[in-house]
Structures are given as C-alpha cells and as structure tokens.
Amino acid sequence: MLHLVNKSPFESTGLESAVRYAHKGSPILLFEDGVYAAMAGTAYEDKIKEIMSDHEVYVLKEDLAARGIADRVVDGVKEIDYPGFVDLVEQHKTASWA
Amino acid sequence: MLHLVNKSPFESTGLESAVRYAHKGSPILLFEDGVYAAMAGTAYEDKIKEIMSDHEVYVLKEDLAARGIADRVVDGVKEIDYPGFVDLVEQHKTASWA
Amino acid sequence: MKFGILILEGPYQHESSDSAYHFTKAALEKGHEVLRVFFYQDGVINSTKLMEPQQDDRHIQRRWSELQEKYDLDYVVCVAAAKRRGINDDVIGPGFKIGGLGMLTEVAIEADRVVQFGA
Amino acid sequence: MKFGILILEGPYQHESSDSAYHFTKAALEKGHEVLRVFFYQDGVINSTKLMEPQQDDRHIQRRWSELQEKYDLDYVVCVAAAKRRGINDDVIGPGFKIGGLGMLTEVAIEADRVVQFGA
Amino acid sequence: MGEEEKAEKLMIVFRKAPYGSIYSFEGLENVLIMGAYDQDISILFIDDGVYAIKSDMDTEATGIKNFSPTFRALEAYDIEKLYIDRESLESRGLSVDDLVIKPKVIEADEVEKLMEEQKNFFMF
Amino acid sequence: MGEEEKAEKLMIVFRKAPYGSIYSFEGLENVLIMGAYDQDISILFIDDGVYAIKSDMDTEATGIKNFSPTFRALEAYDIEKLYIDRESLESRGLSVDDLVIKPKVIEADEVEKLMEEQKNFFMF
C-alpha cells in the first residue's frame, strides 16, 4: 500500500500515523507541505532516515521546487513527478494521511 | 498573554508551539478539538500536568460537552463557558495557535 | 472593551466559524463593543445566502445576519479573498458588505483586542 | 487502469485541489481512464464559476472545466455538501453537475483505484 | 455507471476528531449512503477517529448537530463489520465501554491489512 | 472607522508553511495593505512560517503564484522590523543566508514579548 502524506511533519502527525500503520516495505510519498520531511539538515532528518530503513520514501519534485528545497533532499529519498505519482498509484492501493 | 489552542494534541503541534513561546504564568485556553488535551487518562495527561506547573490551563465547557468528555477533565484544569472566554480575552492579549 | 473579530475558515467545514459566532455573541451580551467582524480567507464563505443546510442543522449565514441586525454590527467580507472563492455582492446575505483588506488594519488600530478564529 | 478522484478541500485555501488537478491530468495523459471526479466537503467550492482570482493567478474552476471538456470527464459535486456551502446549479461552471453521494459509492465499486485529496 | 451485481468490499476509515472539522460528519453521511448499495461494507476507527463514537455527547450549547444517534443506527443498515485500533483507543483514554457502538478491537498491524483487502476505501 | 493619527504598533506573525495552504499568501497581502496605513509595523516568522521566505522558490510546475518577489519588495514599503525565531529556523535546516529577506534572529522567549508590545497582531 502507498501512503500519501501532505502535511509538514513539524505541524501535523500525519506522517507518524502513516508510519505507525504502514507495513514494512510499503512506500510513502511526500507531497505538498509533506515534502519538508524529506529535507536534509532539519530536526526531522534522523526520523526520516529511520523510516527509510523500512520504507521507500518518495517525494514530489514539483512541490520541492515550489518551496525552494529541490537541492536539499535527504540522500536515498526518490524524487518523482506527477506522472511518477500516477505510476505509484497504479502499482499500489493508496491511503491519504491528510 | 492568553494562548488559544483549537486542535487535538494527537493531530497537531499547535499546543506545543503555544507552550514553547508562552511565558511562565501566561494562561492557555483549550477549545474545539483542543479540549482533548485536557482529558484525563490519555497519553497526553502527563504533558498537560507538566504544562500546568507553569500555566493556568482553561478548557471550554461547551466543547467538552459536545465531545462527551465533560466528566473526564484532568484535575486542576479550569472549566469556563463562552462568557468566561470573553473575560479572559478582556484580561489578556490573545494569540491563536490554530 | 472594543473587540475586533477575524474569521479565517469557512462554515461547516471547521468549527472556527461557530466558535467565532458564540464568542461574538457572548461579548455583546456582556456589553462589550464589537467594532467589526472581518471575514478573510475561507471565512468569506460564511456570508453566502445561497447556503441551504439541512433543516435540523444551524444556518450559519442567517445566524450571523440576525446577530448583525440585533446589534447593528459591521461585517466586512474581504474583497480579494471573496473573489477567489466565488463570493460577490449578489450572493452575500443581509448585514454583510464586501470591503477592502484595509478595513482589517483599521480594526487592528482601533480595537483593544482582535481575536482570530481559524484554522 | 480505471481511476476515481475524490476532492475534499476548497480551491486556493489548500493545495489539495491543485494536487488533485495535476494528478488527474497526469493520469489522463498517461492514457488511464478517470471514471469520475467527485467533489465532496469543501471540495464542492472548486465548481463555482463565480470565482474571479487575480489575473496572474490560476483560475481553478476554469482549469477543471477545460480538462473536463478535453477528456469528456464526469464531474459530480455532492448535493448535500454543496447546499451547505452555497453551491447550486446556478453557480457551477461548465462540465460540473450536482449529484448524490451515491455516485461516490459507484466510483468505489467500479474504479480500480480511488485517490483522495485533502485536507 | 450503474449498480454492480456482485458485492465489493468497501471501507470508510474515520481518523479525525468530531466537531472541530466536518470530516467525521460527512464521512458518516457517506457510510449511510454506501449502506444502501448492498455491498460488503466495513468501518474502521483509528487515530482521533476513535473520538467520533464516544458516548455522552451533548452538542446543544455548540449548536452543531449531534451525530451519535446516527452511529447508533448503523446496525439497522446491516453494517456490522466495525473495527477499532487498540492503540488509538487506549492512548486517548478510552475503552470500548466508552463508545456508542462496539467495534472489534484490532492491533495496528491489522489496519493496513484491512485496507488492502478492500476494493476501495475512503479516509475521513 | 477612519484613519488614526498616531502610529500604532501592529504585527503580522507567519507560522504556516507556504503553498500547502493560503495562510502565508493571504497573510502577505495583509502586510502590504497594512504598509499603506503609516503605522509601526513588525513582521515575525516562527514555526513553519520560516519556510515562507526560503530562497529559490520555483512554483511554475504547481501553477501557484510565487510570492517570493513580494517578500523581497517589503523594504520598498518601509517595513523594516523583521524578526525570526532562531529555534524554528535551525530545526528546519535553515540559516538566514537561505532566506530572501534578512530578519533579525531572536530567541523563543522574545516572541511573546514582541506580541505583548503590539496594539494588535495577526497570525497566519
């Protein structure tokens, strides 16, 4: 199952919920304000790295660019665009942790 | 300064922000989904008790009743109604941590 | 005391517009002055007379309009925010008027307290 | 693959309606079928043709209407949610229609994937 | 699109607190309509959604419609597959005795499993 | 209500992330209007609001209007009292060099003090 997270990890517990319920191996896609969770150098970086030990973490390029953090992505996070987002949804049932 | 918090502490970091910036002695009013932070027996109870060592914590009765938790309030939290809310705002400048 | 009220969220979706209404009513009943209620962001949607909630639910626009009439209140719906969301002079209920964002600054200058409701 | 799209938040206030639009467009461009876009909760406000955003901003209703025309899509605005928020047949833009919540259940039955956007 | 003949597995997930936002109310409206379609419906309560079925709600002073009676009526709609996440419940100071309906208590790792079993599901 | 003669201290607080919601955009519109009233205006960035002034924003692919140029224009409006919370900035992986404007970095305990000094303030 693909888990969609669209809220900043500094403001909302959406990503924590997704991770609590996601089985090992289930991918997580960060978009909208959720992309801040994929930013290097933040207080959340250790947490996202821990999440990446159990899950592929994807981040939406369009939302990274809008926020000026396209060059600050934590190593190992996979950047995708909207067509890539569609492909992921094609491969997985999808839960939205708004 | 009076700090207004209207989001559940399980969903949002609004109360944490309020507490980070609030000076010792500044009151906090929990209303709307914020009232869950004043509920006894939750995983948040220790945290609200810690907050109460530095701040008066108020909770809006109308929102407690709506959620069926009027009889579950942590000891020491002060219950007020809308007229009491107005009185608090009269006494303090007011910040909204939505 | 002179209050100003700022509402940032729409009716029904969030409790904020209910809270703002109950607070405003309580302030008036205590004899305070409410200089202006300013509807901004999705708050502008509180003003539409086109809303038709279920019979057994509150009618948020009508409730605001009745409060306005009773206390002769000043309700301003921000024009820029309203235009984005499809709110204009043809759809606002009695007692609301559309106005510039400067009218929010005026409240900040003149009110003893501005209380904001949202998100 | 057959997609259904569910939108729960209003235009401009949240990025969700932008994300839903870009996703829907990308799915169509990849050759997928989009059985229905269902507008629920504040999502119903995406449909109002009364919106007039600033000249240099996107026009969210018009963008949806153009996509509908290009791909002959089925857009349903939930009647109960719409009535609460002042959205009715007189204000919806081209390509939108107002319909019952059952039409969301139909999508859940028939689509291979329903993707929801909001809050 | 018309009605299908075979029953599909569909689920509504409640995960937001009641009254602060309309999510749980409009989610419940969705359940009632789904109930009329003769499908295989499940309902799941997780996160703050467990608060949606707390007993003793009295919304009169807020002016907002109390939806508790509607949750109580779910059985009349033959919706009987009700689940609730133990950790969400316990961390929020609740037990099944505090609720207006009595969902089956499940563990966190069953949540994704239930979701995966559905044809489709919605989260409110 | 008409314009006042004496300047009042007014403040806008940015505390939400940009683009996910309209809070920062409509908060900025409010700043520009306030700037025309000849008052004593301050701006404060805390929590996710620090992200509102990150440099290098490129919103083209999202279709949303980029408001960075408007923040850059604040000086032209004689709005020079700009503050930012150090902890919010650092915990979000940013330094002042990453920002399109250069607010004065303050500590968390100065935030409430700044708010208290105002006649009124708004939080977006």
pLDDT tens digits, B15-26: 999 999 999 999
Option in F19, F55, F92 nearest A66 (CB): F19
Residues of chain D with pLDDT under 50: none
Which pLDDT score, from 0 to 100, does residue F78 have? Answer: 85
Tell me the C-alpha distance between F43 and E38, whole Å. Answer: 57
Tell me the C-alpha distance between C80 and D57, whole Å. Answer: 12
Whole-number average pLDDT of chain F = 94
* Local confidence band at F4 (pLDDT 50, 70, 90 cut-offs): very low
- Candidates E31, D27, E34; CA nearest to A88 is D27
The total number of structural domains in chain A stands at 1
Contacts of C90 (CB under 8 A, 6+ apart): none
Which pLDDT score, from 0 to 100, does residue E4 have? Answer: 47
Map tokens 């039409």 to a residue: D103
Option in F51, F57, F58 nearest A36 (CB): F51
* CA A64 distance to own-chain centroid: 11
> Model-level pTM greater than 0.90?
yes
Map tokens 């003893």 to a residue: C112
Is the distance from CB of E80 to CB of E49 less than 8 angstroms? no
Supply C36's token pair.
Answer: 């202006």
What Cα–Cα distance (Å) separates residue A51 from each residue in A26, A57, A64, A77?
11, 8, 19, 11
Q: Is the ipTM of this complex over 0.90?
A: yes
Residues of chain C with pLDDT under 50: none
- Phi then psi for residue A34, to 5 deg, are -65, -20
Q: What are the mean pLDDT values of chain E's consecutive 10-residue runs (124 residues total)? A: 71 98 96 94 98 98 96 88 98 98 97 98 98
What is the phi-psi region of residue D92: left when phi exceeds 0, alpha when psi lies from -120 to 50, beta otherwise? beta
Q: What is the CATH number of the domain that holds A38?
A: 3.40.1260.10
Half-sphere exposure of F122 (CA within 13 A, CB side): 30
Tell me the C-alpha distance between C84 and C103, whole Å. Answer: 18
- Candidates F98, F1, D118, E95; CA nearest to C103 is F1
**Are residues D109 and E37, on separate chains, in Cβ contact within 8 Å?**
yes
What Cα–Cα distance (Å) separates residue F53 from each residue in A8, B20, D57, F44?
16, 22, 20, 11
Task: Judge whether F10 is closer than 8 Å to chain B, CB to CB.
Answer: no
Task: List strands edge to edge, sheet with F81-85.
Answer: F104-106, F81-85, F40-45, F9-14, F120-123
Which pLDDT score, from 0 to 100, does residue E78 have? Answer: 85
**B73 to chain F, minimum CA–CA distance in Å?**
28
Return the active site residues of D.
Answer: 78
Is the distance from CB of F64 to CB of D18 less than 8 angstroms? yes
Helix residue ranges per DSSP H, B1-98: 14-21, 45-52, 61-66, 82-91
- Candidates C100, A38, C20, C8; CA nearest to A15 is A38
- Candidates E25, E73, E69, E80; CA nearest to E49 is E25
Tell me the C-alpha distance between F86 and F106, whole Å. Answer: 6
> pLDDT at residue F97 above 80?
yes
**AA letter at C64:** W
**AA letter at E76:** A
Beta strand segments in D1-119, E: 2-7, 33-39, 75-78, 96-99, 113-117
Tell me the C-alpha distance between F122 and F14, whole Å. Answer: 9
Q: Considering only CB atoms, which chain E residues are within 8 Å of A93?
A: 115-116, 118, 120
**Are residues B21 and F116, on separate chains, in Cβ contact within 8 Å?**
no
Beta strand segments in chain A, E: 2-5, 28-30, 57-60, 78-80, 94-96
The 10 Å Cβ neighbour count of residue C44 is 28
In the complex, which subunits touch B with 3 or more CB pairs below 8 angstroms?
Answer: A, C, E, F
Please tell me what DSSP assigns to residue F19. Answer: T
Question: Which residues 53-112 of F have a C-beta within 8 angstroms of B?
Answer: 87, 108-109, 111-112
- Phi then psi for residue F97, to 5 deg, are -65, -20
* Active-site choice (C5, C78, C81, C92): C78
Tell me the C-alpha distance between C61 and C75, whole Å. Answer: 12
Option in D49, D51, D80 nearest C85 (CB): D51
**Are residues F64 and D13, on separate chains, in Cβ contact within 8 Å?**
no
Q: Partners of C4 in the beta sheet?
A: C36, C114
Which pLDDT score, from 0 to 100, does residue E5 have? Answer: 57
**C88 to chain B, minimum CA–CA distance in Å?**
27
Map tokens 């050759």 to a residue: D31
Tell me the C-alpha distance between D45 and F92, whole Å. Answer: 33
Among this protein's residues, is C41 annotated catalytic?
no
Q: Mutating which of D15, D41, D58, D67 best tests the A interface, going by the most A Cβ atoms within 10 A?
A: D15
Q: Is C63 exposed, middle or buried (0-12, 13-18, 19+ CB in 10 A)?
A: middle
Between strands B78-80 and B94-96, the pairing is unpaired
**B48 to chain C, minimum CA–CA distance in Å?**
22
Please tell me what DSSP assigns to residue A38. Answer: G
Tell me the C-alpha distance between E57 and E18, whole Å. Answer: 10
**Are residues F112 and B26, on separate chains, in Cβ contact within 8 Å?**
yes
Q: Considering only CB atoms, which chain A residues are within 8 Å of F21?
A: 33
Gyration radius from chain A CA atoms: 12
Q: Partners of C36 in the beta sheet?
A: C4
Contacts of C55 (CB under 8 A, 6+ apart): none
**AA letter at F119:** K
Q: Considering only CB atoms, which chain B residues are within 8 Å of C15?
A: 6, 32-33, 63
pLDDT tens digits, F40-52: 999 999 999 999 9
Which pLDDT score, from 0 to 100, does residue C119 have? Answer: 67
**Are residues B89 and C30, on separate chains, in Cβ contact within 8 Å?**
no
* CA E48 distance to own-chain centroid: 11
Is the distance from CB of A1 to CB of A22 less than 8 angstroms? yes
Please tell me what DSSP assigns to residue B23. Answer: P
pLDDT tens digits, F56-91: 999 999 999 999 999 999 888 889 999 999 999 999
Search chain E and give the residue with CA nearest B8.
E17
Question: Which residues 58-117 of C have a C-beta within 8 angstroms of F?
Answer: 80-81, 100-111, 113-114, 116
Which pLDDT score, from 0 to 100, does residue F102 have? Answer: 96
Search chain E and give the residue with CA nearest A22.
E112
Residue numbers of the domain that contains B65: 2-97
